[in-house]
Amino acid sequence: MRIDIITILPKLLEGPFSDSIMKRAQEKGLAEIHIQNLRDYSTSKHKNVDDYQYGGGAGMVMSCEPIANCIDDLKQQRKYDEIIFMTPDGEVLEQSISNEFSLKENLLILCGHYKGIDERIREHYITREISIGSYVLSGGELAAAVLTDSIVRLLPGVLNDETSALSDSFQDNLLSPPVYTRPADFRGWKVPDVLLSGDFNKIDTWRHEQALKRTKERRPDLLSDTEGE
Ligand code: ADE
């Protein structure tokens, strides 16, 4: 899979993909992440990418031309399955959306800034608008990093234990059960006996019960009508 991210702040996106799982995914050739500097597509003398908004009002708007030039250029090189704009007024990111995107070949993600982007770009280029939550960040970069991470870790071969993405919180609309590691007794705080029992049926049942309990307590909205009762 290939993901291109268009940004005016490429340095902000150097960190999130240069370590750990995201780094390994790229080294193994499972994901290609390319950061595109929007300023490279500005034709103005000072490499401007924004302008005052029509009708007045505070805040600059990202102009059509550099974005259109950049997307046109990238689209000439490959076909994108989705052109995604990161924005607080988009569809709120959920595991099901990341699952869906993880099955695509090429994704293009546009990070917004200032007051937003010229609406005509949204109308004519953008196929999905994604928010990572009901709060406003100073730009779309961190949101793009969150989205990309949530997609890339799902690609087959990225995680060492192939099953571990499947047992994540949210994959079955349940939060994860509690987990423990050695020692079995830390300052008198004991690991539940069942986990030391070696009886894997009992352990599976306990984990499911705990996941259900935690979901009921913390995220009852995730439960279907029948499980939530
Ligand atoms: N840009 C600014 N805030 C954002 C958010 N919450 N989600 C996605 N993109 C954003």
pLDDT in tens, 44-96: 999 999 999 999 999 999 999 999 999 999 999 999 999 999 999 999 999 99
Q: State how far the Cα of 227 lies from the Cα of 213, in Å rounded to an integer.
A: 10
Strands 50-52 and 60-62, by their bridges, are: antiparallel
Ligand 1 site, CB within 6 A = 86-88, 112, 131-133, 135-137, 140, 143
Q: Are the beta carbons of 197 and 191 closer than 8 angstroms?
A: no
CA distance 28 to 90: 32
Nearest to 136 by CA among 120, 112, 118, 119: 112
pLDDT, averaged across the chain: 95
Per DSSP bridges, beta strands 2-7 and 50-52 are unpaired
Q: CB count, 10 Å around CB of 106?
A: 18
Distance 85 CA to ligand 1 centre (A): 9
Query: Cα 191 to the chain's mean position, in Å?
Result: 33
- State residue 22 phi and psi, 5-degree precision: -65, -40
pLDDT of residue 225: 56
Please check whether residue 82 is in contact with residue 104, taking contact to mean a CB–CB distance below 8 angstroms: yes
How far apart (Å, rounded) are the C-alpha atoms in residues 130 and 137? 13
**Ligand 1 closest atom vs CA 87:** 9
Q: Which ipTM value was assigned to this complex?
A: 0.99
Known binder of ligand: residue 157?
no
Query: Average of pLDDT values for 24-47?
Result: 97
> What ligand 1 atom has the least distance to the C-alpha of 134?
6
pLDDT in tens, 99-125: 999 999 999 999 999 899 999 999 999
Report the predicted TM-score, pTM, of the whole model to 2 decimal places: 0.94
In this structure, are strands 2-7 and 32-37 parallel, antiparallel, or unpaired?
A: parallel
Query: How many other CB atoms are there within 10 angstroms of residue 73's CB atom?
Result: 12
| pLDDT band for position 228 (cuts 50, 70, 90) | very low
- Nearest protein Cα to ligand 1, atom 7: 131
Residue closest via CA to ligand 1's atom 10 equals: 87
Residue-range domains of the chain with CATH:
2-152 (3.40.1280.10), 185-228 (no CATH)
